[in-house]
Amino acid sequence: MISFKRFLMEKVMQQFNVLKHTDLTKDRSRGELFVMKIKTGEDFALANGKQTKIDKSEYDDVAAGMNTKGFSKKLKVQSGGYVNYPKDFLKTGEFGGKGKGSGVAAENAALKLATTALNKVLTKEAQPTIMLKVGKRTVECAGIISTPNPGGRDPKSDFAIVNLKGDMVAHISHKAGRTAKDFQQYGGVTDLKGSKEIESFMKDVIAKHPGGLGSGDTYYRKIKSNDLIQKSVYGIKAGSKSVDVNNVDEFHQGTMQFKKKGGAYIITSTHKGIVGQTPKGPYEAILVARYNKRKGTYGSLILQNSRIGIFPMAKITRNTKEI
């Protein structure tokens, strides 16, 4: 009889593919997490159903390898012996895998990197807190946490900045990847109640497809209302003076770092947006209706076989039709 731990690992193997070096190099945060796990002595999931810790002597070579195309290496493990990178490793959620729970794993990975970066700054300053300019606030920052969700509905905030008392003083929305193509959407439309633009878009698509969308059907429309864009990108309470999980101060993509600027620190990342700013270029927010095996709804309006949401312009393909 196999152990429960081995049973769980076999389930993991069924969910995820074998890791490729490009899985880590195309998203810098994944490569950073991989080498950090070597440094901190954490387990890696292997394709044979086992877990292993990489010997810390391999840290420098692997860190350099993340900047090398086609890098592969036989890595020494702490328990003795070797494993082959990357073919012996699994592409779990923290490295971009899409198995069950992968979204949470990716979020946890981003939080781990941000926490490590913040702790380095706190150590350098030899202080328990720093002053952090985030969005339009300058706050006392003692830590960064995963935003609590006691109400059961996902808040717009993914991470919260907390002060020395543990109070949430600012909020951040975070997406993995390095380009606008790498994430699914800014959000759905259900909570954006009373929007004439969304109603008009829905009615026009329904008029064209009264029986619902067919496979491959996708429509989009640029959004004119900046208020609607702000609520989609930064939360339904965007711009209010209150500290609220649905009023995020900044939007970040990729690895977050803490950089000193003047008398306070700021957060940097691959892509950053501050509440009040309107996303431009490939990040421009647009309304999208695309085929999906469920019904898309907005108020009393129903479009069969569809998913309705607000996406970045970069998600548009050549087969997507403007309406």
Q: What is the pLDDT of residue 212?
A: 96
Q: Can you give the pLDDT at residue 6?
A: 47
Backbone φ and ψ for 74, nearest 5 degrees, come out as -85, 120
Taking the C-alpha atoms of residue 214 and residue 134, their distance in angstroms, rounded to an integer, is: 44
Does residue 282 have a cis bond before it (omega within 30 degrees)?
A: no
Which pLDDT does position 99 carry in this prediction? Answer: 66
Instruction: Using the structure block, give the residue that is written with the tokens 């490009």.
Output: 22
Q: Where are the domains of the chain?
A: 4-95, 102-322
Q: Is the pLDDT of residue 294 over 80?
A: yes
Contacts of 129 (CB under 8 A, 6+ apart): 122, 140, 141, 142, 163, 164
- Residue 14 has a pLDDT of 55
Residue 314 DSSP code: G
pTM, to two decimals: 0.80
- Structure tokens given for 177: 């990847």
* Per-residue DSSP letter, 316: -
Please check the confidence at residue 7 and state whether its pLDDT lies above 60: no
Three-state DSSP at 253 gives strand
d(CA 124, CA 183) in angstroms, rounded, equals: 34
The β-bridge relationship of strands 218-222 and 321-322 is parallel
Tell me the pLDDT band of 108, cut-offs 50, 70 and 90. confident
- The winner for highest mean pLDDT among 34-43, 174-183, 280-289 is 280-289
Tokens of 256: 């977050």
Query: DSSP characters for 15-62?
Result: H-PBP-HHHHHTSHHHHHHHHHHHHHT-EEEBTTS-EEEB-GGGHHHH
pLDDT recorded at residue 142: 97
pLDDT level of residue 106 (50, 70, 90 thresholds): confident
β partners of residue 51: 45
- The span from the CA of 55 to the CA of 40, in Å, is 10
The average pLDDT across 129-151 equals 93
Segment 86-99 mean pLDDT? 88
Provide the angle, in degrees to the nearest 10, between the axes of the packed helices 28-40 and 102-125. Answer: 70
Q: What is the pLDDT of residue 194?
A: 94
Mean pLDDT of 188-199: 96
The pairing of strands 271-274 and 264-268 is unpaired
